[in-house]
A and B are shown apart, each in its own frame.
Chain A
Amino acid sequence: MFCFASLLVLAILSIFSARYREPTKQALDCVFRRVTLRPCTTGFDVKVKSVILSKLMLRWPSVARFINKRFELLSWIFVITFFVSLAWSVRGGYLFWSTGNCNGLNQGGFCAFDPTGKNNAVSGMGLECRTGGAPTGDLTLSGLDLNQFPLMEGKTDKQLVFIGCYACKYTKQTYPLIKQLIASYHPSVRFVFYSTHPEADYLMAYDYAVQTLAPTKYFDWMDALYLESHDSVASESATIQLIKDLGIDMEAVHKIIVDPATKAMTQKRKYAIDTTGIYGTPTIFMNGVPVVGPKPYRVYRQMLNQTWF
């Protein structure tokens, strides 16, 4: 039974080292004979067992005795574990390919293909940027009136709701991918600005003012902010200059900003966004399914087109 498990391991090792090729042939022959209900004649099992026992018996004779007596049983356990582990790895690989994480969409935990967790990284609500996932089962758009946010009309019935922060580096990282997605697949997209960085809180009012005063220039405004550096975004003077560059009446903007109603409105928006349950930016609802953190483009494409699973 041991040859079953050994075969795959040795086959991989023999790609890199010729010394493993002969044992691989023996293991293959052994496997072939076992599946055809014949005894293994290469002595492969005996050789491997001898090597293991010889190493163990000098240090832990009782362990060697235990392994010798239960070698077949242990081989079975090893083989089963091996195949379960293999299946789990294949699943992890598939999940990584389709969701950007070995453990599934928006899931935490270690992923060998994404060891730093960058595909799950978000700027937390009121916190600094962080990595790692969190439960997403409660994320919903049901309590949020999306009509209050700018809409980029698409040519299909595919729907995206993009919740991001101008100061969040992960949102900045994701934004070009979403633009690429829009150009390729033409979904309708709602853009929601939510400040997850204190230095960007002032932008809630400016964002509201630009949306109100110059809805046609809103997407240029948004483009500029997502493409700006973090420091520029945090600088109110740089923002004022940007508004001026966009040809928006700064005096009118100022009036809106100082208007107590604006503060109330932005607070109301923030509370409304909080009802979605999001815990960081970027969070993108793709046809209603929340996708948290910056994912590879293939994930967004598959999620939008609903080609995975």
Chain B
Amino acid sequence: MIDVQRIRQDFPLLRDQQKPLVYFDNACMSMRPSEVISAIRTYYETMPACAGRSNHHLAVLVSQAVDESRVAVKNFVHAKKKEEIIFTRNTSEGLNLLARSLHLKHGDVVVVSDKEHNSNLVPWLYLHTTLGIEVRIVPSTTTNEADLSNWERALTGNVKAVSLVYTSNLDGVTNPVKEITKMAHKIRAVVIVDAAQAAPHQVIDVQDLDVDFLVFSAHKLCGPSGMGVLYGKYALLDALEPFMVGGDTVERTSYTSYTLLPVPERFEAGLQDYAGIMGTKAAVDYLSRIGLSHIHDHEVSLNMLLTKGLSEMSRVHIIGPQEAAKRSGIASFTVDGADHHQIALMLDKVGNVCVRSGQHCVHSWFTDRKIAGSVRASLYFYNTTEEVSIFLDTLRKVLAVL
């Protein structure tokens, strides 16, 4: 069980709020606990130096801190070794790195689900346009869940990669990544997992899943903005050409040649966001201390309450399965006769309730179904049942007007 009230004391915005704030936009960005903010500040205040270059004592401290962060993230996703962890700016950068480094060519097939975030769709569509690869879309069931038979049918032919979302930011549905990975490996396709929405809310075990690559961002798991992680099996990473080269990616250079550093440094070009890396360690440590299974359970219990309330509103239609347990901490919904942006704006104005409205960067799904957009409430471990009640009460009032 989570002691939410105690946890809320760790978050300055929740602890010091004047007017009760209901923050239900966690699928976009989570809040940061004091210890993450403190870790970032520690870098700037006590060791504002380079890692992996200089030999003075501050540089050594930073190098140690980066290494410790890599180990912490390795443990967070249960990777085999720390070298399998590459720090990026965000999920999009991780996915672009892979899309550009896999050496895909004309006629190769990349398989994606029909609910991919633009981060995991546009890089492949770009290669479709520039190289002529085929992007194969796997349709979900009518309740927006993965249909394994569709995946089986899609995984034929010249499939080189499967790139799919772990937990959808659209509706919170978690895909059976382990099963799909097995299918993909049978045809020797690499599996890339967009875990941006999964990593903050559930235990990630890359070895158990047996995925080849997994990417996520820190800002959704209480970490700093502008920090992301790319996990890859060491052998696969070692075989990849780097996405960017330059400072701190090479062992030596002459005027005519260069020798790349080993993984992971060869993928971390230029000066890194050391404060962000330290903040990421603080974030994963913080989440691990609370326990991701506890976090998941808490979110689901809140979502059940939320879903029950939404289901009682006749004009509201939840996207995805009706069972809250299948949607993690996300409830995305449309309302008959009301504009989603207007609902979100009024929830904010009337009840200080922050939710997301629009197409949530999954434009392709909405375009295909000719739906203008939805309202998305996304929960996290610091949210409370009282906040769910405030959200539902405010929504009722707003819908009484709209």
Contact = CB atoms under 8 A, between A and B. Distances in A.
A49 B345 CA distance: 10
Interface stretch (A25-33, A58-66, A261-269, A290-298): A58-66
Given A46-B345, A68-B402, A57 B339 contact: no
- By secondary structure, the B interface counts as helix
A64 B342 contact: no
Contact of A50 (B346, B397, B400): B346
A39 to B, nearest CB: 11
B401 interface: yes
Interface string A31-74: 00000000000010011011101110110010011001000000
B341 A53 contact: no
Interface in B347-385: 349-350
- By secondary structure, the A interface counts as helix
A20 B327 CA distance: 40
Interface residues of B, number: 12
Contacts of B349: 50-51, 54-55
Contacts of A50: 341-342, 345-346, 349
A40 to B, nearest CB: 12
A47 B401 CA distance: 15
B32 to A, nearest CB: 27
B398 interface: yes
Contact of A54 (B339, B341, B350, B400): B350
B401 A57 contact: yes
A68 to B, nearest CB: 6
Which of B339, B346, B349, B401 has the most CB atoms of chain A within a 10 A radius of its CB? B401
A61 B402 CA distance: 10
A55 B397 CA distance: 12
Contact of A61 (B339, B341, B342, B401): B401
Contact of A46 (B341, B350, B398, B400): B341
Contact of A47 (B345, B400, B402): B345
A61 B401 CA distance: 7
Interface of A: 43, 46-47, 49-51, 53-55, 57-58, 61, 64-65, 68
13 contacts: A43-B341, A51-B349, A53-B402, A54-B346, A54-B349, A54-B350, A57-B350, A57-B397, A57-B398, A57-B400, A58-B350, A64-B401, A68-B402
Given A46-B345, A50-B341, A57-B346, 17 more contacts: A43-B341, A46-B341, A46-B342, A47-B341, A49-B342, A50-B346, A50-B349, A51-B345, A53-B346, A53-B402, A54-B346, A55-B349, A57-B397, A57-B398, A57-B401, A61-B401, A65-B400
Those 9 A-B pairs whose CB atoms lie nearest each other, nearest first: A54-B349, A50-B345, A64-B401, A57-B401, A54-B350, A46-B341, A46-B342, A50-B346, A54-B346
